[in-house]
Amino acid sequence: MKELRAMGIDPYPAAMYPTNAFAAEIKENFKDEDEPRQVCVAGRMMSRRIMGKASFIELMDSTGRIQVYITRDDICPDEEDKEMYNKVFKKLLDIGDFIGIEGFVFRTQMGEITIHAKKLTVLSKSLRPLPIVKYKDGVAYDKFDDPDLRYRQRYVDLVVNEGVKETFLKRTKVIRTLRSVLDEAGYTEVETPILQSIPGGASARPFITHHNTLDIDLYCRIATELYLKRLIVGGFEGVYEIGKNFRNEGMDRTHNPEFTCMELYVAYKDYNWMMDFTEKLLEKIAIETNGTTKVMVGENEVDFKAPYRRLPILDAIKEKTGYDLNGMSEDEMREVAKKCGVEVTPSMGKGKLIDEIFGETCEGTFIQPTFITDYPVEMSPLTKMHRSKPGLTERFELMVNGKELANAYSELNDPIDQYERFQDQLRLSQKGDDEAMFIDQDFVRALEYGMPPTSGIGIGIDRLVMLMTGQQAIQEVLFFPQMKPESKD
């Protein structure tokens, strides 16, 4: 860098570089019979082969890679510049540097579409060497494949590892398709507060922060549900939000403390309608993203073609364990949990026990999309009571590849019932359940003004992208996943 500056070459020029073409587009549109096309491209130099006065480099831009042919006589026609070429190109430019190339497109004798450079411009000097993957006899070595390094230095991962960028482009396509379907259905995209005085809409431990001016604690939202339902009270017929939620919980291959979720609420619908809508939505996303409803996730082929199986949760537990929890007391359920090898604590009520038994013995067995329905009321404090099954609610969770992908209800709109459910959650909190819901008095007040029959759903976008891209770790579909602090060493 210092030597370039000493030669009067700015390694970080400020002027705009007038690109007019990209690698992929050049290759796609090249025809041998056409007149040579003049192009101006820019990108990273990813490889270099020096052969005397001529050289070949590989240039990578945002669309891919293309070969560039460079000769000293073309770049430096004046005799006095030739020594500068030798020094700059052969000694001072490195793999990873950004350069600009002006020239024309041709096909080499080896048949490769190539840019014949007429001018080379230094655009940005790379001060750290890229960990370029090397190959010998078709086998890669010196790979940049350590997960800790890849996730911390995603900027390097994107440059040197093939397929990483494509995963994130598919993520964009998933979200774009999701938004398109909801918009075409006539639903309104909205934004609700991330900082909330009461964290509601889910059973989860929140992150706590402090607002200095108001001198109050605030919480990073764990869900958007209660604010979106306030908008249904306010007269919107269908609203949705795609945004970040935050839960102060463990981290593993399917959990990150901050995650993206889509929540949708539609008036005058119920959970049966929402199941129909959801399976059609996911089928369309799969086709738009991959061209097929079938996706390989590890060793499992998952087919998103509608319709999906629908199975009540207590039937699922009976099917997988042989135990019928219908009508059991809390103590009886606790004994079943112990027999199934499920750890229990004194703070667990019926709902938590059923949730733990299902999670440990059943959840991982549902590979194909399956709606698990009709959860007990203790598990569902925001859900309408089942119209024909006492003690159960109109709720479903969608299981795919052994994990929950979506959670949906016929929403509870009885303010008195809702307040009593919040009171039950308060009692669980007093027993030591730190994931029990807070009482949101303003939300109860909103319901007292009247909310129409409504169905709502939350879909985990990160897990959806994992499925659509065949990834088995959530860190692979997050640009910058949460990591432990980097070692000072």
The predicted-structure confidence for 283-338, as pLDDT tens digits, reads as follows: 999 999 999 999 999 999 999 999 999 999 999 999 999 999 988 999 999 999 99
Judge whether residue 159 has pLDDT over 80. yes
Residues 6+ apart with CB under 8 A from 26: 37, 39, 41, 66, 105, 113, 115
Kindly state the average pLDDT of the residues 266-277: 98
Q: Is 60 helix (H, G, I), strand (E, B) or coil?
A: strand
* Matching residue, tokens 């979106």: 228
Judge whether residue 80 has pLDDT over 80. no
Instruction: Kindly state which CATH superfamily the domain 2-130 is placed in.
Output: Nucleic acid-binding proteins (2.40.50.140)
- Long-range residue pairs from 3-6, CB within 8 A, at least 24 positions apart, any chain: 3/87, 3/92, 4/88, 4/92, 4/122, 4/125
Tell me if 266 sits within 8 A of 288, measured CB to CB: no
**Mind listing the pLDDT tens digit for each residue in 167-199?**
999 999 999 999 999 999 999 999 999 999 998
**Each residue of 85-107: b (16+ CB within 10 Å) or e?**
beebbeebbeebbbbbbbbebee
Judge whether residue 86 has pLDDT over 90. no
Q: Which residues, in sequence order, are bridge partners of residue 54?
A: 51, 71
Please give the Cα distance from 44 to 23 (Å, whole number). 12
Output the pLDDT for position 1. Answer: 94
Tell me if 170 sits within 8 A of 237, measured CB to CB: no
* Matching residue, tokens 């900027």: 155
H or E stretch covering 73: helix 72-75
Pick the residue with more confidence: 487 or 81? Answer: 487
Task: Label residue 252 exposed, middle or buried (CB < 10 Å: 0-12, 13-18, 19+).
Answer: exposed
pTM for the full model? 0.89
**Mind listing the pLDDT tens digit for each residue in 365-405?**
999 999 999 998 878 888 899 999 888 899 999 999 999 99
Both tokens assigned to 236: 């919107």
Q: What's the topology of domain 164-308+368-477?
A: BirA Bifunctional Protein; domain 2 (3.30.930)
Q: Could you give the residue range(s) of every CATH 2.40.50.140 domain in the chain? A: 2-130
Phi/psi at 250 (5° precision)? -70, 165
Average pLDDT, the chain: 92
Tell me if 158 sits within 8 A of 208, measured CB to CB: no
Largest pairwise CA distance in the chain: 94
The alpha carbon dihedral of 284, 285, 288, 293 has a sign of negative
Task: Label residue 138 exposed, middle or buried (CB < 10 Å: 0-12, 13-18, 19+).
Answer: exposed
Amino acid at 445: R
**Mind listing the pLDDT tens digit for each residue in 215-229?**
999 999 999 999 999
* Matching residue, tokens 């831009």: 61
How many Cβ atoms sit within 10 Å of the Cβ of residue 64? 15
Q: Could you give the residue range(s) of every CATH 3.30.930.10 domain in the chain? A: 164-308+368-477
Output the pLDDT for position 295. Answer: 96
The CA distances from residue 271 to 293, 313, 397, 411, in Å, are 23, 15, 10, 8
Give rounded-to-5 percent helix, strand, coil for the chain: 35, 30, 40
Rg of the chain over CA atoms, in angstroms?
29
From 369, 435, 376, select the one nearest 399 (Cα to Cα): 369
> What's the pLDDT band for 81 if we cut at 50, 70, 90?
low
Percent of the chain predicted with pLDDT > 90: 78
**Mind listing the pLDDT tens digit for each residue in 434-465?**
666 678 899 999 999 999 999 999 999 999 99
How many Cα atoms occupy the beta-carbon half-sphere of 277 within 13 Å? 22
How many Cβ atoms sit within 10 Å of the Cβ of residue 288? 17
Q: Where are the beta strands (DSSP E) in 162-318?
A: 188-189, 195-196, 208-211, 216-220, 238-246, 258-267, 294-297, 300-303, 309-312
Amino acid at 207: F
Tell me if 189 sits within 8 A of 240, measured CB to CB: yes
Output the pLDDT for position 79. Answer: 63
**Mind listing the pLDDT tens digit for each residue in 4-31?**
999 899 999 999 999 999 999 999 999 9
